[in-house]
Amino acid sequence: MKIYTPLLEERSLNIVQGEYQVNNDPRTKLTTILGSCVAACLWDSLAGLGGMNHFLLPGVDSRHPQPGGAAMRHGVHAMELLVNGLLQQGADRRRLQAKLFGGARMIKGLTDIGDLNAAFAERFLRAEGIAIVGGSLRGNQGRRIQFWPVSGRARQVLIGLEQTSVRPEREFVPTRPSAQAGALELF
Domains of the chain: 11-186 (3.30.1330.200)
d(CA 15, CA 26): 17
pLDDT digits (tens, 9 = 90+) for 89-108: 999 999 999 999 999 999 88
Stated length of the chain: 187
* Amino acid type, 93: R
User: Structure pTM?
Assistant: 0.78
Strands 28-34 and 142-148: antiparallel
Q: Please, what is the average pLDDT of the chain?
A: 82
Q: What is the pLDDT of residues 2-39, one digit of tens each?
A: 454 455 688 999 999 999 999 999 999 999 999 999 99
Average pLDDT over residues 149-167: 76
DSSP code of residue 4: P
Strands 28-34 and 11-14: parallel
CB within 8 A of 109, min separation 6: which ones?
none
